[in-house]
Amino acid sequence: MRLAARAVRIGLLSVYVTAFGTVAARAQELTKPLAPGGDAPSFSLPTLSGARQTLSVWCGKKLAKPYLNSSPHVVVLNFWATYCKPCQKEIPELMKFEKKHKEDLIKIFCISLDKEGASIVAPFVKEKGYTLPILFDPYKRTAQRYGVKSLPALVVVGPDGVVRFSSVGYSENVSLQKLLEKAMAAAKAGQNYFAAADEQPGESVEVKQDADDAEPAGAAISPRDKWRAVARVESGESAEDVSGELGVSPDEVRKWYNELKQAALEMWKTQQE
C-alpha cells in the first residue's frame, strides 16, 4: 500500500513538473519576437545624430539606396531600454561580436524603447561606453511590428530581408557569441535557425507600456521626408513599401500624396488668376 501511494505521489509530481515546464515554455513562446521565416518589417528610425537608418538600405531583395550600400548585409536588431538590466549585459557581448566581424557584411542596431528618447539614452550610452549604432523607437511602433514584448530581444535578418532567428532574454550560461555565429551562418545560407533547448536565454523584463505611447500618425515625420515619400509613390513605388520604412500606415502616405496634390492645384489656380 505504501509503495503504491508513493508511486502515485511520484506520478503526480512528474505530471506537475511536466505541466509547469509546458506552461513556462508556452509563456516564453508568447514573449518571443517574430518567428523565423517571414519578411522583416521595414522601418526608418532616428539615430543619436538625428539622421535616420532604414532597414531596406542594408538588406532585402532590392536595396533602397545602392549608392550608400550596394551589398546585402546580415542585420542584427537588439531591442533594449535603459531600465532593462539584462540588456546591459547583452550589449557588450554584441559589441564584441561586431568587433570580431568588422570585416564581414553584418550590421548591428540597438533599438531603444525608452520613451524619453535621446535625453535619457545619450548620457546613458556615453556612461556605459556603448559603441553600436543606437536607434530610437519611443512609441514602440517598430517593436510592436516585430512582436517585442520583453527585453532584451534579438532578431537576426538575413541579406534577403527575411527573419532568420529571434530570441528574448539574456543568460550568462548561454554563449551569445556561439549563438550568433550559428544564426549568422544560417542567415547567410538563406536558412532559419531555431535555438536548442540549452541555448534559450532566460533573464528578461517586460516592455514598459505608458499611457502616452500612442503617437499621432506621421507626427515624427519631417515635411521633407513626407515630400520624399510622395515623390517615391509618384515614381511608381507602392504606398505599402514606402509607409513600412517610415513606420506609418499606407493610408497616411496616400493622405500626404492627396494633400500635396491639392496644394499644387491651388497654387496652379492662383497663378492662373
What one-character-per-residue DSSP string does 59-91 give? SSSS-S-TTT--S--EEEEEEE-TT-HHHHHHH
The rounded percent of the chain whose pLDDT value lies above 90 is 58
pTM of the model: 0.73
Residue range 104-125: mean pLDDT, rounded: 96
C-alpha cell at 250: 499606407
Q: Are strands 205-206 and 150-151 parallel, antiparallel or unpaired?
A: antiparallel
Distance, in Å, from the CA atom of 217 to the CA atom of 95, rounded to the nearest integer, reads 34
Distance, in Å, from the CA atom of 131 to the CA atom of 145, rounded to the nearest integer, reads 26
pLDDT at 161 over 90: yes
Distance, in Å, from the CA atom of 228 to the CA atom of 159, rounded to the nearest integer, reads 25
Q: What is the pLDDT of residue 211?
A: 60
Q: What is the pLDDT of residue 179?
A: 96
pLDDT at 214 over 50: yes
pLDDT at 41 over 80: yes
pLDDT at 225 over 70: yes
Write the pLDDT tens digit of every residue in 63-93: 999 999 999 999 999 999 999 999 999 999 9
**Regarding predicted confidence, which is higher, 220 or 133?**
133
CB atoms within 10 A of CB 60: 23
The DSSP symbol for 174 reads: S
- What's the distance, Cα to Cα, between the start and end of the chain in Å? 105
Write the pLDDT tens digit of every residue in 165-189: 999 999 999 999 999 999 999 999 9
pLDDT at 16 over 60: no
Distance, in Å, from the CA atom of 270 to the CA atom of 261, rounded to the nearest integer, reads 14
Quickly state the pLDDT bin for 28 (edges 50, 70, 90). Answer: very low
Quickly state the pLDDT bin for 217 (edges 50, 70, 90). Answer: very low
Mean pLDDT of the chain: 83
Residues 6+ positions from 254 with CB-CB distance below 8 Å: 233, 239
**Regarding predicted confidence, which is higher, 24 or 82?**
82
Phi, psi at 206, each rounded to 5°: -75, 145
What is the secondary structure of 196-246 as a DSSP string?
Answer: -GGG---B-EEPP--TT----TTTTS-HHHHHHHHHHHHTT--HHHHHHHH
pLDDT at 47 over 90: yes
Q: What is the pLDDT of residue 105?
A: 97
Q: What is the pLDDT of residue 212?
A: 58
Q: What is the pLDDT of residue 10?
A: 43
What is the secondary structure of 47-64 as a DSSP string?
Answer: BTTS-EEEHHHHSSSS-S
Q: Please give the angle made by the CA atoms of 267, 252 and 45, to the nearest 5 degrees.
A: 110
Rounded-to-5 percentages of helix, strand, coil across the chain: 45, 15, 40
Residue range 220-229: mean pLDDT, rounded: 74
pLDDT at 201 over 50: yes
Closest CA to 90 of 149, 164, 28, 174: 174
Residue range 197-209: mean pLDDT, rounded: 86
Q: Please give the angle made by the CA atoms of 44, 48 and 52, to the nearest 5 degrees.
A: 20
Q: What is the pLDDT of residue 31?
A: 59
Lowest mean pLDDT of 20-29, 74-83, 129-138, 192-201, name the range: 20-29
Lowest mean pLDDT of 58-62, 179-183, 248-252, name the range: 248-252
Distance, in Å, from the CA atom of 134 to the CA atom of 142, rounded to the nearest integer, reads 14
